[in-house]
Chain A
Amino acid sequence: MQRHLISAADLSRDDAVLILDTAEEMARVADRPIKKLPTLRGRTVVNLFFEDSTRTRISFEAAEKRLSADVINFSAKGSSVSKGESLKDTAQTLEAMGVDAVVIRHGASGAPYRLATSGWIDAAVINAGDGTHQHPTQALLDAFTMRRRLVGRDAGLGRDLAGKRVTLVGDVLHSRVARSNVDLLHTLGAEVTLVAPPTLIPVGVESWPCEVSYDLDSTLPKCDAVMMLRVQRERMNAAFFPTEREYSRRYGLDGDRMAKLPEHAIVMHPGPMVRGMEITAEVADSDRCTAVEQVANGVSIRMAVLYLLLGGNEPAAAPLRAEEK
């Protein structure tokens, strides 16, 4: 494992499978009455959030607390950052207080990379989403969810997603979730197809390890998983598509379209969902939709990442597995 987690593209197949396997162990902790491990006792993790993100921040915080880390939450709003303090000074200030890891969410693509590589700080850096670049823990929790559902909770251990067909639908251009998923799913052996109006596909996508289609209906029958990306309503003001209704008709997932999926296929969404835009309530609330499950899995994945980056060599929840056997 590397010292930082900046991009899903940095993970080897073995790294990724190790994280997924470790997350399964962590998930078992969640099933116990006392959901806490002593692994990161005495270690301090700061959640440095320059962008509002309640769900990701809470997910990291839950993971950190279950590993017994001391947690500092820092949100840019109302802090010295809003008074013009630079990222460098903010990070150095926090490190001076003795921080072992920085979980950073930032609106500028590459900000976590800069933090990890500029010699500003020594702490481990975990990217919790940067601009339209990467969101690696999201991709990991998505892969975790797919492996559980499509390969099996126990059967999946040690395995990747070879041969699974995954379709990502929506605003790929502005999506760090899409970039991270394309990288990680490719590494794990899945076949990825992006579906979006051409305006929401980046120029340069031809170098990505995936297929691109403009037609959702023709791809659905061939999917094992379809992931709906959030489409912000503001986008239509910049002429990315004409109207919300036209977007929904052409690229939204409703009951009729869901019926075209193979029986076993799942519907995923990283949240927050825009119901009525990319997904109808019928689909969002159906058994096939894993949106809520993804949130739960997010805590396990983030525990695994924190443990592997900070926890050193001691076993995480290994005694537990022995217990269960």
Chain B
Amino acid sequence: MSKILIRGAKVLGGEQQDVLIDGETIAAVGTGLSAEGAEVIEAEGKVLLPGLVDLHTHLREPGREDSETVLTGTRAAASGGYTAVFAMANTFPVADTAGVVEQVWRLGKEHGYCDVQPIGAVTVGLEGRKLAELGAMHESAAGVTVFSDDGKCVDDAVIMRRALEYVKAFGGIVAQHAQEPRLTEGAQMNEGVVSAELGLGGWPAVAEESIIARDVLLAEHVGSRVHICHLSTAGSVEIVRWAKSRGIQVTAEVTPHHLLLTDELVRTYNPVYKVNPPLRTERDVMALREALADGTIDIVATDHAPHPHEDKDCEWAAAAMGMVGLETALSVVQETMVDTGLLDWAGVADRMSAKPAQIGQATGHGRPVSAGEPANLTLVDTAYRGQVDPAGFASRSRNTPYQGRELPGRVTHTWLRGKATLVDGKLT
């Protein structure tokens, strides 16, 4: 493999430096590095980050290849600056056996746009009744360490407790989709002022908060780690903050859309804003931003959820829940966290690369940008501003809530172990 010299990039937003990639590895970081024998990327003014890692992606394959495949989803990931994604288990069939997780893992490897780490289901068929063969999935070629019934909550307290305990044997972690099912029957949007007016079934904050409260206490009781998916309310932030102060091993993620959008948008009845957990209020958005800045929330995860057009081109109640996010995540984080002064680029690297890699044990990802590390890198033109145009997405689906919205920042290059997957904004 050839050498690549990235010249004059602001590494983690700091001083301008040159970064030399040799083969799969970062060979040197410094100023005035020799370009001899290397392809030169002029990166003056751009920000260089470690390749982003998404702990929460829906790639839809197997089963819903009409909305996304491992190929299109990983192309979308590379396009958004990601070098590793964790693929959620709610496929058809469900990723609850070694066979299915190995299939997804193998497809990711074959396509080569980013590393695909399958997440295994906690329970058989995501039904919440019987533990899936977690050990077999861990020992499979896919080496699963993160388990989640995402899309559904592991609501049975005993099953959740057992799962938390069981995965300790091999250092696994359970990622909980916190949604008390009885409190959210028929739920269509955040329960509050807007739902009262629109006559849409309410999804109360307490349905999330009560499960998080229960699960951090369970994690404490059995001495396990628990990860909270797509935390969305100010109350959830308070509970996680309290749990961390008590020494409970809890980590939490927030999605880009919950950092930017509120339930006021539902007034349009446009299902592009329909997502689970639902868009909350301005007060929640501000609390989430603050929590991501102070570390209460550990990471940003996209919850990239592709859906075919017909599943959104309908009345609200009939529409599918979810938004695509891989290709806009970094821009939304820049808009909500960096341009607001809440987080610097080193903080972004931490929340979108280092920490998610650490939580998911994605070896070789989320590493420092320094000599000897794997060359998983993302180059961002942070001065760019432009309107989001879903027609240009690499994802097979277009269900973005940001269509036509002006957002800052654009990923121009992505390297996966020294191999460019994105060059000048174009997939290789």
Contacts and interface: CB of A to CB of B under 8 A. Distances in A.
Interface of A: 86-88, 106-111, 113-114, 117-118, 130-134, 176, 179, 202-208
Contacts of B198: 109-110, 133
B315 A179 contact: no
A203 B202 contact: yes
B192 interface: yes
Contact of A109 (B191, B268, B270, B316): B316
Contacts of B310: 86
B315 A87 contact: yes
A109 B194 contact: no
B192 A110 contact: no
B316 A108 contact: yes
Given A204-B191, A205-B196, A87 B269 contact: no
A131 B196 CA distance: 12
Contact of B196 (A118, A134, A207): A207
A87 B197 CA distance: 23
B124 to A, nearest CB: 30
B66 interface: no
Taking residues whose C-beta sits less than 8 angstroms from the other chain, chain B's interface range is 20 to 34
Contacts of A107: 317
Contacts of B204: 203
A111 B204 CA distance: 23
A108 B314 CA distance: 10
Contacts of A86: 310, 313-314, 318
A108 B310 CA distance: 17
Given A108-B315, A108-B317, A206-B193, A114 B269 contact: yes
Nearest to B318: A108
7 contacts: A107-B317, A110-B200, A111-B315, A111-B317, A114-B270, A118-B313, A203-B196
Contacts of B195: 202-204
Interface in B248-274: 268-270
Contact of A131 (B193, B268, B317): B317
Interface in B291-330: 310, 313-318
B341 interface: no
B202 to A, nearest CB: 6
B314 A87 contact: yes
Contact of A110 (B193, B202, B316): B316
A202 B193 CA distance: 9
B32 interface: no
Given A110-B269, A114-B269, A202-B202, A207 B314 contact: no
Which of B193, B195, B268, B315 gathers most chain A CB within 10 Å? B315
Nearest to A50: B315
Contacts of A111: 315-317
Nearest to A6: B269
A256 to B, nearest CB: 32
A118 B317 CA distance: 15
